[in-house]
Structure 1
Amino acid sequence: MFNNIGVSGLIIILIIALVIFGPSKLPQLGRAFGDTLREFRSSTKGVVDEITSDVKGENESASEKK
């Protein structure tokens, strides 16, 4: 999705965000975005770990039946 955005594109986005939100709100927005991203990553990691453990359990039970 963001593969085509280069350094100049990021600079333009940051300048637009600075104009829209102002310099006092930008750190708060960055912190909120970081917290949201961290929570999303931990949630998806939990789901992946759960699925992996379920698959391992099924494989072990299938090998015990043989």
Structure 2
Amino acid sequence: MFDLGFQELIIIFIVALLVFGPKRLPELGYTLGKTLNEIKKAFQGAKSEMEKEINEVKETVEEAKKDIKDPLQLKNELFKDIPSLEDLRIDKHIENIARKEIEKKE
């Protein structure tokens, strides 16, 4: 983590022993360990909370993808009730009426 070797740790231990004394050193080690453990738990909690939020966002995006329709399908649904230009041609209607009249006479 900090790239400390065995020699550096011994020097830190000797300095702490001289500064705090042999009576307070175990208490100091316990407090330091407890503090580091609490920091580790806090980071793990924050990490799990972020992962939870990211998963919720991913699920929302996936649901949105499912709701998005194919553009051609959407166009067909929007324009299904609108008659085509072929159906709007008057001469076709007149031709159909004339054809029906001819069929009736025959």
**Match of 2:17?**
18
Whether 2:28 is the aligned partner of 1:29: answer yes
The structure with higher relative contact order (CA 8 Å, sep 6+) is: 1
For 2:44 and 2:30, the matched residues in 1 are separated by 21
TM-score, normalised to structure 1's length?
Answer: 0.89
Alignment-mate amino acid for residue 59 of structure 2: E
User: Which blocks of at least 5 consecutive residues in structure 1 are unaligned?
Assistant: none
The alignment-based identity, stated in percent, is 40
Quote the offset at 1:16 in angstroms: 1.1
- Length-normalised TM-score, structure 2: 0.58
Q: Which of 1 and 2 has greater Rg? A: 2
The whole-number CA distance in structure 1 between the counterparts of 2:9 and 2:18 is 14
Aligned residues: 65
Mark the runs of 5 or more structure 2 residues left unpaired by the alignment.
Answer: 66-106
